[in-house]
């Protein structure tokens, strides 16, 4: 009974938060076993892998992150542009629109492979680890800001450009045949 009373009264003490690299981390037996979240938070390790974030201004929609993902949590739909769209912060020319760029964090296993293969380093792991939601569908983050109407318009522009190129190619071949 004395052991129970000791733990009952010690639960009012706050746990001292120590980083895992601290020498006394595993010897810390004072206070409670749990932290008083959200008032107290554990220190975030420098090498921690948490929430994914995408800087769409730097994304060239190369699809490498989706290809390397072992659990297929990244869904990308690209639309070819009729000309260069712009440049990323590192000077890479953008030639694709991101009609869809979704990451399902419910599937993500936080391996970090997508951040390693990204040539423009637009996909990163932040230090945000608490993304509690009520509905599972709320864990799918949509990073593309393109509406379905805009995507349809961009597809139509590209198809029109391809049709014009094909018509010009056929006309050039017909002119070549008539002159020969």
Tokens of 91: 């000077």
- Mean pLDDT, rounded, for 114-143: 90
pLDDT band of residue 45 (cuts 50, 70, 90) is confident
Q: How many domains does the chain have?
A: 2
Tokens of 9: 């009264």
Q: What is the pLDDT of residues 52-86, one digit of tens each?
A: 999 999 999 999 999 999 999 999 999 999 888 88
- Residue 108 counted as domain residue: yes
Are both 39 and 66 inside the same structural domain? no
Calpha distance 147→96 (Å, rounded): 15
* Helix and strand counts by DSSP (H, E) for the chain: 4, 7
Residue pair 81/99 in contact (Cβ under 8 Å)? The answer is no
Q: What is the domain extent for residue 109?
A: 52-148
Are both 37 and 96 inside the same structural domain? no
Are both 37 and 61 inside the same structural domain? no
Residue pair 21/98 in contact (Cβ under 8 Å)? The answer is no
According to the model, what pLDDT value does residue 30 have? Answer: 56
Burial 73-105 (b: 16+ CB within 10 A, else e): bbebbbbebeeeeeebeeebebebbbbbbbbbb
pLDDT band of residue 40 (cuts 50, 70, 90) is confident
């Amino acid at each position: 009974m004395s052991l129970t009373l000791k733990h009952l009264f010690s639960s009012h003490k706050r746990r001292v938060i120590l980083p895992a690299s601290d020498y006394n981390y595993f010897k810390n037996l004072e206070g409670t076993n749990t932290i008083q979240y959200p008032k107290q938070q554990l220190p975030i390790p420098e090498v921690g892998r948490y929430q994914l974030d995408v800087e769409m201004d730097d994304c060239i929609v190369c699809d490498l992150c989706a290809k390397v993902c072992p659990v297929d949590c990244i869904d990308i739909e690209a639309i070819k542009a009729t000309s260069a769209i712009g440049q990323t912060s590192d000077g890479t020319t953008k030639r694709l629109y991101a009609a869809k760029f979704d990451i399902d964090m419910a599937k993500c296993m936080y391996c970090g492979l997508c951040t390693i293969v990204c040539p423009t380093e637009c996909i990163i792991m932040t230090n945000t680890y608490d993304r509690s939601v009520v509905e599972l569908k709320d864990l799918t983050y949509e990073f593309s800001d393109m509406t379905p109407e805009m995507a349809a318009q961009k597809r139509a522009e590209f198809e029109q450009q391809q049709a014009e190129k094909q018509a010009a190619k056929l006309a050039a071949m017909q002119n070549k045949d008539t002159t020969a």
